[in-house]
Amino acid sequence: MHIDYQNDLNPAQHEAATTLDGPILVIAGAGSGKTRTIVYRLARLVESGVSPAEILLLTFTRKASSEMLHRAEGLLGHQGLGNVRGGTFHGFAYSLLKQHAGLLGFERGATVMDRSDGEEILSQAKDRLKIGKGDRKFPKRATVLGLYSKSRNKELTLEQVLRQEAYHLGAYEDDLTRLLEEYERIKRECGLLDYDDLLFLLERLLTEHPHVREAVTSSISHIMVDEYQDTNLVQARLVRLLTKPGDTSPNVMAVGDDAQSIYAFRGANVRNILDFPKIFQGTRVIKLEQNYRSTQPILELTNAILDGFRDKFAKRLFSERTDSRLPEHVLPFSDRSQARLVTAKVTELARTYPLDQIAVLFRAGYQSYHVEVELNKIGLGFRKYGGIKFSDAAHIKDVLACLRLGQNTSDLPAWQRILGNVPGIGPKSAQKIHHAAMINDQAFIKAQRAKRPALDELLRVLDTLRTQVMRPSTAITFVLEYYQPVLREKFPDDYPRREAGLEELTQISLSYDDIPAFLGDLSLDSPDAEEDRGQAVTLSTVHSAKGLEWDAVLVIDLVEDRFPSRHAMNDNDDFEEERRLLYVACTRARDSLTLFSPETLYSRELSATTPARVSPFLQDIPSHLMSRYREQFTGGVGLQTLPTPRRAPEGTSPQGSRPGPGEDFAASAPRTSSSTQTPVQGTYCRHKIFGRGKVVQRVEPNKYKINFPGFGLKLIIEDFVELE
């Protein structure tokens, strides 16, 4: 069967599919036909006489490798490719470890555990050491194993992971260290392996037993690795170990996109793809830049996002899909009014696109809560991916149960829910207390209060809610004084995340004057989205959206401290990953892209609305690439017209010009240094207003991006800072 490589592929795809020898790095921009390229290269290898058994294809899911092999077989007239080796890194590792288990000390063989097996072994370790006994706040087994897996995949100590990601569990560090040592001991006794063991043991096998490496590598002539930007450190080392020792030009092809490396939280390391040409000398770099998904105006915006990367493979995405519509940048008054504008935009888009072709994307799961409430109000169904649905979150339901009982004492589900948080009260006791409350059996209630001080405290809270008229926001603040300790006791593993959700609940309540109306809107479940996906809008975190696409995409909360996150504002590597996250979000859109940056955010700590700064990633984007709209006092949004900048003579700055988007008016302070400075990234500097800061990036021709503690990231003209 003849395959027309020339006409089936664009020039870059053709080059990648037909270059069969030596190390190759394919930088596949979003929507550029990466899978198609791999499929055609598999077919070309077999056509050129390479035995399928000598091809190693490593992917991140079995589904991905199966699809590629199936499509390649179709090209070859269903010639068998079943002998191609590989699948996932972990699956391939297990196939080799089974053959050589004895060399690693597993004379009786080794069994791979699933997650529930691992939790059972951890329970045995806890019992042996008598750790966490009677301590309700001790981290759950799943949490402990999750932290351990992160430390191994990132190759960090447990202390480092706790400090970075679970500071609230730091008091348990010594106990967790002892517990995990015992967990490892029991695994060895029983000949058990967990998921992470597979990669590290394969590395040990190939490193410590050269004859095994020789045998394995001599049976492989070509290696292909998909999604290389998602590999962790040990996976990158394994790729090197799977090439023949001493081979200076191995046939290794890595395919991926450095700009889509967004999984550092689970161990992915962007340096693997960036350093590939250094590790494999003579690497041929091929860039797939033609995009088959988005319109050119959307790609112009994503190219501008790419321009901001500090360390990258430069590329310019382009499309044959020309369209005059620019992406929109909407500036709502607040994060509350943002939800209403998002809902209005979804309603508008639904006149053109099916609901299942509209997606609202966000950085963190709690950020969609306002939008969920607004969609509920108008009866528009949605499905949420990543994070808990607002109406399903246990901590939200707990607080609302208190408010419900303040309005209706006979609400049995609310009684059962909130009494379930009182130690010693189960479902039967809850029913008895509910019955006693209904008939005002004071003798029974008094006896229960005497036995359980926590019940006494709860009933006092409910009495206050019943006897005092409060606005919803006041009532929630009052309930949270009681519930905060309960929350930390009930959810010790992740209460910081849940507290962020409760802050959003408080903010949502500010829009309401009375509790019944507030409860009415929040108690409505999301209208049942029919099995037909056309009946539901997608709400998704950006991480959960990777690999997917929609006709219309809306991205919300594009302001400092939310996107990028507060943590990322103080770390260069995390800051770069957040930029990649925005690139991934924007490249999900085919036809329509709308970005939202609320001008104010509510702060519960300050009990006030505070100004928000547009995400620094958008501050860098030339204004002509977006249509900018501001919310209007008279309703709706109005197109913001920007003045045409006056051209200044080369080498000078326009006198009296106003700062562009993202430039600080403080930059017009008196000059403190010469423009001949050449700062190095990481250099410290001083500014007369913001004080001492750290240079994050130079923005040509004459600005620095500087992080000032207490003020965040600022874009400052170089003449107004003094380097240390």
- Cα→Cα distances 63→57, 76, 226, 396, Å: 13, 20, 12, 37
Residue 630, classed as helix, strand or coil, is strand
- State the Cα–Cα distance between residues 303 and 316, nearest whole angstrom: 6
Residue 12, classed as helix, strand or coil, is helix
Q: Is 614 within 8 Å of 60 (Cβ atoms)?
A: no
Residue 253, classed as helix, strand or coil, is strand
Q: Which residues lie across from 693 on neighbouring strands? A: 685
Question: On the CB side of 401, how many CA atoms lie within 13 Å of its CA?
Answer: 20
- Cα→Cα distances 371→332, 356, 366, Å: 14, 16, 10
Q: At what angle do helices 210-218 and 195-208 cross, to 10 degrees?
A: 100
Binding residue per annotation — 35? yes
Binding residue per annotation — 49? no
Sheet with 637-639, side-by-side order of all strands: 382-385, 537-541, 358-362, 550-555, 589-596, 328-331, 627-631, 637-639
652, with CB counted inside 10 A (0-12, 13-18, 19+), is exposed
Binding residue per annotation — 287? no
Binding residue per annotation — 387? no
* Pair of tokens at residue 508: 């949502």
Q: At what angle do helices 442-451 and 427-439 cross, to 10 degrees?
A: 140
- State the Cα–Cα distance between residues 305 and 619, nearest whole angstrom: 10
Binding residue per annotation — 34? yes
Angle at 134 (CA atoms; ends 129, 137), nearest 5 degrees: 100
Beta strands in 327-388 (DSSP E): 328-331, 358-362, 382-385
Sorted by sequence, the CB contacts under 8 Å of residue 241 that are 6+ apart come out as 203, 206, 207, 213
Binding residue per annotation — 31? yes
Binding residue per annotation — 344? no
DSSP of 573-598: HHHHHHHHHHHHHHTTEEEEEEEE--
Matching residue, tokens 């020789």: 214
- State the Cα–Cα distance between residues 361 and 357, nearest whole angstrom: 13
- Cα→Cα distances 591→259, 318, 325, Å: 21, 14, 9
Pick the closest to residue 423 from 323, 490, 354 (CA basis). 490
- Cα→Cα distances 566→11, 560, 669, Å: 42, 7, 27
Residue 26, classed as helix, strand or coil, is strand
Q: Is 402 within 8 Å of 419 (Cβ atoms)?
A: no
Q: Is 473 within 8 Å of 510 (Cβ atoms)?
A: yes
Proportion of the chain in helix, strand, coil states, percent, rounded to 5? 50, 15, 35
- State the Cα–Cα distance between residues 512 and 475, nearest whole angstrom: 12
Binding residue per annotation — 32? yes
Annotated binding site for ATP: 28-35
Annotated binding site: 28-35
